[in-house]
Chain A
Amino acid sequence: MASPEDASRPFAGFSDVSIPEDIPVEGDISVPVPPSARDDELSTLDEPVKETVLRDLRAVGKKFVHVLYPKRSSVLLRDWDLWGPLLLCVTLALLLQGGAADSNEQGGPQFAEVFVVVWFGSIVITLNSKLLGGTLSFFQSLCVLGYCIMPLTVAMAVCRVVLFAISGKAGFIVRLVVVTASFGWSTFASTAFLSDSQPSNRKALVVYPVFLFYFVIGWMILTFSP
């Protein structure tokens, strides 16, 4: 056999070893595409808008319930969505707005601050848990971290009410207790989902940034004064 021929057709010499040409090889290699997939898409296109919106709202609400009672379930992870985190982030940012003596200067940045802190922090924690060998995907982690801000948002609303009602040291103590409790709840809820996806000896390495993240948010809530 001439070597230039072999160089352009590697494994040329094997063709007559492995497949004898007198036995015809036949069959159908094409994979049958199930026709039902297209029908599904058409069917959700045809349904009324109210149903679509309600289905999404129900999914978001189910996830909120899961954060309230954190059990090790995979509902939050399987169908991730970012509506809930967006809603919570915007609510938190609006509640934290206007929290300074000279509000014309610091009212603006605070909305953007909260937004950037929440999303940038979530992205950093997600990257960190992926680099440490986690099995969750990027958006699943974002979804979990965003939903677990809910206790802190509730605490912010409570704090605003307390700031109107009680003032002075007692008010500060009440707010401290509320914020600490919700911060602990958030951290516990998110680690219930996140730490399952990590190798067992590295859970502390993943929990610490989550702790820092919610600590910073909790601190922003606690030091808020209208």
Chain B
Amino acid sequence: MSSGSRTTNTEPWGGFDDNLVQGSGSAVIDMDDTSGSSFEDVGEMHQRMKEEEEVAAEAAATEDEGTEDGEFLGMKGIKGQLGRQVADEVWQAGKRQASKAFNLYANIDILRPYFDVEPSQVRSRLMESMIPVRMINFPQKVAGELYGPLMLVFTLVAILLHGMKTSGTVIREGTLMGTAIGTCFGYWLGVSSFIYFLAYLVNAQITMLQMLSLLGYGLFGHCVVLMVTYNIHFHFLFYAMWLLIGGLSTLRMVAVLLSRTVGQTPRLLLCGSLSLLHMSFLLYLHFSYHQILEGLLDSLEGPNVAPMQRVVRDVPGLTLNTTMRNLMTQ
């Protein structure tokens, strides 16, 4: 029996044990068993195959000595072919393991569950992001998806571009597009990480994905406000919308965070910093990328369509001046 089972491993077509060296030698193959898919197991498998090759070589060598000289070339041919077969198998096994590792780590399927949404779900979450929920006694549900937040960030980039172009912002170092993308993504990722870090410090029950999702949906209010106020240029309107819509979306995020934090000081810290950052981001977006409103209105009535009376100056200085002037004249 044992000699019979030994020779099946040395058949030219490779034997049964290609895929069966994973895990223990049980008769049941566990389909969930991933013990063969790490590099340690590759090494082990390689070792086993080497041992088997040596065993087979020994067996062939002992059989060799028992044959006549006339058949010697035939047996050597088989041994050479065996060597090639085993080398081939080792190469195939190595390639398989490498592609398995690649598929495991460099796979966009890791992100797939976060994009598993329906349009109706996205719509309802957009509406809900403006409605602060009252109950803060037990943790509120936060959707962990990334499609909505990502699309909202891109929409904000597009709206920002629109605002920068119509106001004739001069960007000296860098491009319009780069500034817009950098600002919006930087805010979304940076502030999410910062608030997650604070939440980690005060032991709040929120994960990074949930924070990204929450802040992303909170940008919906910003998109609405900016879309309106980049086109209708009344400062009172902007301040009213800033308070109302910005305030509503901030309150929603604050309520969610409150429901997931215990203790007065942590709550104050977390929610205070989030509201400060969120509201001041809206202010910043409006004022620093949308200055030359009066010039635009005047020049649209003029004969030519080169409305941008661009004067080369520094952006932050202008922000301060325009804001002060506007505040003083109102």
Residues of A within 8 A of B (CB): 1, 5-16, 19, 21, 29, 101-102, 105, 109-110, 112-113, 116-117, 124, 127-128, 130-132, 163, 167-169, 171-172, 201-202, 204-205, 208-209, 212, 215-216, 219, 223, 225
Contacts and interface: CB of A to CB of B under 8 A. Distances in A.
Contacts of A204: 119
B305 A168 contact: yes
11 contacts: A9-B25, A10-B21, A10-B25, A12-B5, A13-B27, A101-B308, A172-B305, A201-B119, A209-B151, A216-B157, A225-B308
Interface of B: 1-2, 4-5, 8-9, 13, 16-17, 20-21, 24-27, 48, 108, 111-112, 115, 117-119, 122, 147, 150-151, 154-155, 157-158, 161-162, 165-166, 170, 172, 174-178, 300, 303-306, 308, 310, 312
A208 B175 contact: no
Given A127-B108, A168-B304, 8 more contacts: A9-B17, A21-B4, A101-B306, A113-B176, A131-B147, A201-B119, A205-B117, A223-B166
Contacts, number: 106
Contacts of B161: 216, 219
Nearest to A225: B306
B44 to A, nearest CB: 11
> 7 nearest interchain CB pairs?
A10-B25, A7-B25, A109-B175, A131-B115, A12-B5, A223-B165, A204-B119
Nearest to B26: A10
B48 A212 contact: no
Contacts of A163: 305
A47 to B, nearest CB: 35
Contact of A113 (B4, B162, B175): B175
Nearest to A29: B13
Contacts of B154: 124, 209, 212
B104 to A, nearest CB: 17
Given A9-B5, A15-B5, A109-B175, A205 B303 contact: no
